[in-house]
Amino acid sequence: MRENLINLTYLFASLLFILGLKGLGHPRSAVKGNLLGAFGMFIAIAATLVDRRVLSFELIAFGLAIGSVLGTVMAIKVQMTAMPQLVALFNGLGGVASTFVAGAALYEAQQPSTQQQLLQAIGAGGGPELHFLVATVAAGIVGTVTFTGSVVAFAKLQEIFDWPGFTGVQVLNGLLVAASLGLGVWITVEPSALNVFWMLTLVAGTLGFFLVVPIGGADMPVVIALLNSYSGIAAAASGFVLQNNVLIISGALVGASGIILTQNMCKAMNRSLANVMFAKLGPKAGGSSADEVYGGRVKSTTAEEVAMILESASRVVIVPGYGLAVSQAQHAVRDLTQILEDRGVLVEFAIHPVAGRMPGHMNVLLAEAEIDYDKMKEMDEINPTFGQVDVALVIGANDVVNPLARTDPKSPIAGMPILDVDHARTVIIMKRSLSPGFAGIPNPLFAADNTLMFYGDGKKALLDLNAALKAL
């Protein structure tokens, strides 16, 4: 009876998770959706406390208290620019927790005084059933890969570590995959060899480390999304270990979410997941050099001139890139928007899917600066309208507005969907220099007839521009 009640509560919690994620489909319902999810989690954990396997509550209360304080402090302290790091870290924590849970279950399965619910997991021969062991191995591998991979992603995003690895790192990764699978098979054959489980986590941990080491910069969004998916898969695997449906359902939901976002990010770069994970992006031989592209054709401009152009425009589209976030210029952009709107100019934001360091990152940064979410336009929505745009103002973006993606099939970014800012009447590029973006190639947009280069650090240039506009 008690088991049934607990399971029904788990079902209710799963429903709340689904409704909560559904609520995230619109900014209006999102806050409520998130609260529904949190409530679902609360009742799932509360129901588990009445499980008859749970005998001592002191340790649990202590663990819940420590975790709640740590989580709350991190969530409140974090800067919005550091959101990718925090999500990476949380992914990693969830992953390693799943590994521990699976490991604990493996230890418990060795106990002679196995209780009733564990009997279900025990086969006729006396040892644990095969699928229990396979799930344990899966949770061990995926959870630990998620953990070390997330730690590397965190360190890279935090810029405390940027070792790009060595040639042949993928060969090592192949060996590590083979080794962890081999150890996994060993566990299924010899479940009482508990040390093998820890060897497995060691190998999988090394694998996670070296999988993420070669990835950097603009490819980070893909990694974060993928690790998000892995943390879900690890939770689902530990659900199979414990035969617990709420773990399986939640893990599957998160796994699905992460995979969709991963695919979105790959599509936005026109690269396969394998290419992002295993190949290096860079200029190929035969591409035009910077001198050929720019040679004498680049026109530079001043804050005063840009102010006059913007003042006489009726529709302005701002294209924010990661450079904007780096120079903490979101609030200056908000002020610029305000000044222009006060003068009757229509201002919108065109956001490329990979503009930030994680999916949707740029939108959060703009929302933090109190920019209306209705003004943030997706690429597919705004691209057909660039022909009617008077001024496209590109701030700290490069590859995502490079027309070579459309015109040069040999370019490393060939086929990548870009924002068609070159179709606007005037394009103003705010950038420190002509230096290339992540793809390492020159951008012919900078030398186009309708383009003006406004050199400067994002924030300072914007402040100058705002001052010039006010002086008009």
Of 121-180, binders to another protein (CB under 8 A) are: 129, 131
Quote the least distance from Cβ 262 to another protein, whole Å: 11
Interface with another protein in residues 412-441 (CB under 8 A): none
CB distance 408 to 291 below 8 Å = no
From 2, 5, 8, 27, residue interacting with another protein (rule: CB under 8 A): 27
**Catalytic sites, residue numbers:** 399
β-pair type (346-351, 315-320): parallel
Binding range to another protein, per CB under 8 A, among 111-119, 157-165, 210-218, 440-448: 111-119
Interface with another protein in residues 253-282 (CB under 8 A): 253-258, 260-261, 264
From 60, 178, 193, 279, residue interacting with another protein (rule: CB under 8 A): 60
> DSSP 3-state assignment of 279?
coil
The phi, psi pair for 394, rounded to 5°, reads: -95, 120
Type and span of the H or E element at 92: helix 83-109
Residue 63 binding another protein, by CB under 8 A: yes
When the beta carbons of 225 and 427 are compared against another protein, the nearer one is 225
Residue 108 binding another protein, by CB under 8 A: yes
Residue 193 binding another protein, by CB under 8 A: no
When the beta carbons of 190 and 292 are compared against another protein, the nearer one is 190
Residue 105 binding another protein, by CB under 8 A: yes
When the beta carbons of 72 and 435 are compared against another protein, the nearer one is 72
Type and span of the H or E element at 394: strand 391-395
Interface with another protein in residues 314-353 (CB under 8 A): 351, 353
CB distance 403 to 418 below 8 Å = yes
Nearest to 105 by CA among 247, 209, 5: 247
Binding range to another protein, per CB under 8 A, among 166-174, 304-312, 368-376, 395-403: 368-376
From 81, 93, 140, 316, residue interacting with another protein (rule: CB under 8 A): 93
When the beta carbons of 18 and 326 are compared against another protein, the nearer one is 18
Cβ neighbours of residue 309 closer than 8 Å, sequence gap 6 or more: 391, 426, 428, 452
From 159, 342, 374, 449, residue interacting with another protein (rule: CB under 8 A): 374
Interface with another protein in residues 291-310 (CB under 8 A): none
CB neighbours of residue 27 within 10 Å = 11
Quote the least distance from Cβ 360 to another protein, whole Å: 3
Residue 472 binding another protein, by CB under 8 A: no
CB distance 270 to 428 below 8 Å = no
In angstroms, rounded to a whole number, what is the distance separating the alpha carbons of residues 149 and 144?
A: 8
From 170, 245, 328, 450, residue interacting with another protein (rule: CB under 8 A): 245
In angstroms, rounded to a whole number, what is the distance separating the alpha carbons of residues 453 and 467?
A: 19
β-pair type (426-431, 346-351): unpaired
CB distance 91 to 227 below 8 Å = yes
- Angle CA 59–64–69, to nearest 5: 130
Specify which residues 346 forms β-bridges with. Answer: 315
Binding range to another protein, per CB under 8 A, among 100-108, 182-190, 299-307, 459-467: 100-108
| Integer CA distances (angstroms), 102 to 51, 81, 105, 371, in order | 18, 34, 5, 45
Cβ neighbours of residue 397 closer than 8 Å, sequence gap 6 or more: 319, 320, 321, 322, 323, 324, 352, 355, 419, 437
Quote the least distance from Cβ 72 to another protein, whole Å: 5
Residue 107 binding another protein, by CB under 8 A: yes
Binding range to another protein, per CB under 8 A, among 112-120, 316-324, 395-403, 456-464: 112-120
